[in-house]
A and B are shown apart, each in its own frame.
Chain A
Amino acid sequence: MSRELHRFKGGVHPPDHKAESNRRPVHAAPLPKKLVIPLRQHLGNPAKPVVEVGDPVKKGQMIAAADGYISAAVHASSSGVVTAIDLQPVPHISGLPDLCITIETDGRDEWIDHAPLDYLAVEPSQLRMQLRDMGLVGLGGAVFPTGVKLDPGATQQCPTLIINGGECEPWITCDDVLMRQHAGEVLEGVAIMRHLMGSTEILVGIEDNKPEAIAAMRAAAARLDFAVEVVVIPTLYPSGGAKQMTEILTGKQVPSGKRSTDIGLQVFNVGTAYALARAVHHGEPLISRLVTVTGHVLRPQNFEVLIGTPMHTLITLAGDRDGTTGVLMGGPMMGVPMPNLDVPVVKATNCILVKSKELFPPLPNALPCIRCTRCADACPAELQPQELFRFAKAGDFGRAQEYHLFDCIECGCCSYVCPSHIPLVDFYRYAKSEIWAHEKDKRASDLARERHEFRQFRLEREKKEKAEKLAAKAQAKRAELAAVPPAERAVPSDADAKKALIAAALARAQAKRSDAAPKNIDHLTPEQLHQIEEIEARRAKIRELARQPLESEEKNT
């Protein structure tokens, strides 16, 4: 079975350092006392907590629900009690804390009720939602919600399914070890992907520095009732990049700014396929993953780790050593330095790489760019990094964008080969963030301007409406007046109209006054008059009587 392989442009050959960690058996890391589970472990909206502090939770219980389509749920990795929902340090390049749910474990590791899904019986859209609710995300590094990626679209076809076992980044061996030990389950996951995507061609790309993984996957593939082609590709960083893997296996390039489904294929990491199989065939949400702990430790190896386990426990497990100069999450080419080791293992944690001065000597100071274009030769995105650097450094972000800054995948090849030791990727990240910030500002100011313009428009409109209303009223009044005395219609001057208005008003006032006057003394009947007279007489007599005793009293005193 030989497939014509294609070569992507660029790439580098850093020392792979795989042998350190891929020869020891995989152990499950012990259950920690405390699990800190971030709500943002995937691309898209962070999950929304569905538990409260003090709630007991079981292993596999959803503790935060997916928020929107591009999101994923988060689950308790073990049983225990929720002790906090607050900001905690997380493994992120920003070093900023993020919202996490802390679980005090009870040691019983008690599962919630869970059952396999009959994926063939479920409507695909419903299955995708279930996968989202099981917290499935891509485990190759980008942690994009898997359910979203498993949608070929209403009109699109996805004939080719690529399973990425490249694992090109130095030091990391979790995919290698996973394929060696769980090739069958990886391919079970692939079968589910195949079902959802409707793919007819399935390619598994594995770098030729993983012969055991290749053999295991080939053996497992031979047992399947559908064809899976395990393709051995040359070791060349970054062949495990989705776009690079696509080009190696198919010769096709994903058009800039488009998705791979636009050219009829989709790429998944082997770890994702395995997690999918666990979710569907066992009903287990994504609560653990394989993590390589390597570098400056006594026993570099892979662990099966519960999400939320603090990183320092793993380093202790692998045997920490003196002379540690820092810890990376991920590999040396694209890894992220950890602010401290209390941060938890998250879904994106494929490797914990402990640095030492010997393994990672401090980088030399940068010299000016000499435009040697080694970076351009190494760039797998086929960019001109030396020009991007020049524009980024000069703050000419417009030109940087014109030179396709946003096609940069930040693989680090350019920095790796630079004879002037310029941290090129850093400049691109800076330029990208500046452009994003600028666009955000621009959006904000656009919004403010729109609001202001709308307010102006509204004020203007109200003024106009008021004027129109007044004019209409006056018109109506004039028409009314004109309708009453036909004689006066001959002289319709403004002054006359005014006079007429005044006269009308006076007349109205008169009418009102007469209406308001007492009505019971006019037009009285003779009987009423008589009664009034009688009443008046009686009141006069009373008044008379009332005055008399006063006079008598005066006399007496």
Chain B
Amino acid sequence: MPSPFILDRSSVTQVMAWVLAALLPGIAAYVWLFGPGILVTLSLATVTALAAEAAMLKARGYPVQPFLLDLSAIVTAWLLALSLPSLAPWWLIVTGTLFAIVVAKHLYGGLGQNIFNPAMVGYAVLIVSFPVQMTHWAGPLELSATHLSLAQSATAIFGGDVPKATLDAVTMATPLDALRTGLLQQLTVDEVLTHPIFGHYGGVGFEWLAGAFLLGGLLLWALRIISWQVPLAFLAGIWLTAGFLNFYDAGRFGPPWFHLFAPSVMLGAFFIATDPVTGATTPRGKLIFGLGAGFLTMAIRTWGGFPDGVAFAILLMNLCVPLIDQYTQPRIYGGARKTEEPPA
């Protein structure tokens, strides 16, 4: 083996483990604010992802153990699980996870080769194919009289016998849904925001969940596992777009802080858009990537057919990564900026 003969103590496993660790504050907040159902979703997604990963590695003739231990499949599973409605049926979770691991990850060549963020592909497939089931959000405990226990959540997720009344009492529109529906009903933003689901900045509970994801994200930044460019640019993209729209017509467009303090935004900014495999690599590229994703998120929320747009925004920006990287090559030591045209 040629030089160098020493290595820093870092590994893919370590990177992925820190990402998982950084998700723990968010998961804890989720359980605290929305009940323990998310644990069922997380577990099911994890088991499915590991099984799919192992099967695909075997089928592709790769050594199973080192790749399973890199923990990347679990990161995908958790990110998808945290994006899904907490009372989504089991088959929805399994379908989404399978699609993420099998199609979005392994059919593109496995770890490091996929163009699109696997969790977001899984999410996009589900919301396009099963829009109704994708609305089974448990509302914040603070607002609902009935609380589901862990067992009850599991029963609900696995299609067991849970009284429909109980389920109806638990599920609730998300704040973004509420805003969207309200605006479609020709209400003004101020009128919509009087709904009890809205809290200080975002939704009741949701804003705290967003805060917990932000905390985990800052941990990743402090550990230099993610760089500051993507999250900051992503948040700036959302804030600037929302702020501009809100300034233009405060009656028709939600306030920027509300758009910023959604869990999906914080999860997207710090955990999903920062996925190194599918994101831009150059410093300026990361800024463009983040800003683009933030802007597209707001564009989809405002004019698109879905209440939230983080997943589609990130997938669309994933598409642009080769182009962004190509045109944002930094200056090298003692060199001029790379200006050569790419070969035809």
Contacts and interface: CB of A to CB of B under 8 A. Distances in A.
A275 B72 CA distance: 54
Interface in B316-344: 325, 329-336, 338, 340, 343
Contacts of B110: 368
A368 B112 CA distance: 6
Contacts of A129: none
Given A412-B4, A417-B8, A421-B7, A367 B325 contact: no
A13 to B, nearest CB: 9
Contacts of B66: 365, 367
Contacts of A253: 333-334
Given A376-B281, A386-B281, A9 B333 contact: yes
Interface in B1-28: 1-8, 10-12, 14-15
Contacts of B277: 370-371
Interface in A208-248: 243, 247
A421 B5 contact: no
A407 B332 contact: yes
Contacts of A335: 3, 5
Nearest to B69: A367
Contacts of A380: 333
Given A255-B334, A332-B6, A421-B7, A398 B343 contact: yes
B3 A332 contact: yes
Interface string B267-290: 000000000110101100000000
Interface string A251-281: 0011110100000000000000000000000
A332 B5 contact: yes
A412 B8 CA distance: 11
A335 B3 CA distance: 6
B177 interface: no
A328 B2 CA distance: 10
A419 interface: yes
Interface residues of B, number: 39
B19 to A, nearest CB: 11
A394 interface: no
B282 A332 contact: no
Contacts of B12: 367, 370, 419-420
Contacts of A367: 12, 66-67, 70, 111-112
A553 to B, nearest CB: 114
A454 B45 CA distance: 72
Contacts of A370: 12, 15, 72, 111-112, 276-277
A453 interface: no
B8 A333 contact: no
B113 interface: yes
B335 A256 contact: yes
Interface stretch (A422-430, A497-505, A525-533): A422-430
A12 interface: yes
Given A334-B3, A336-B3, A425-B2, A382 B333 contact: yes
A364 B10 CA distance: 11
B8 A373 contact: no
Interface in B198-244: 227
A425 B5 CA distance: 11
Contacts of A404: 332, 335, 338
Interface string A400-425: 00111001001010011111110101
Interface in A327-347: 328, 330, 332-337
Nearest to A378: B8
Given A368-B112, A387-B325, A333 B4 contact: yes
A311 B304 CA distance: 72
Contact of A373 (B14, B72, B281, B343): B281
A374 interface: yes
A386 B282 CA distance: 10
Interface in B111-165: 111-113
A383 B332 CA distance: 6
B332 to A, nearest CB: 5
B4 A425 contact: yes
Contacts of B2: 93, 336-337, 423, 425-426, 429
Interface string A357-390: 0001001110111111110100011111011000
Contacts of B276: 370-373
A419 B111 CA distance: 13
Given A367-B111, A403-B329, A372 B15 contact: yes
A494 B5 CA distance: 89
- Closest 4 pairs (CB-CB, A-B): A412-B4, A368-B112, A256-B335, A253-B334
19 contacts: A8-B333, A14-B8, A93-B2, A253-B333, A254-B334, A256-B333, A328-B5, A337-B2, A363-B1, A365-B66, A370-B276, A371-B112, A376-B282, A384-B329, A407-B333, A416-B6, A419-B14, A419-B15, A420-B11
Interface of A: 8-9, 12, 14, 93, 170, 243, 247, 253-256, 258, 328, 330, 332-337, 355, 360, 363-365, 367-374, 376, 380-384, 386-387, 398-399, 402-404, 407, 410, 412, 415-421, 423, 425-426, 429
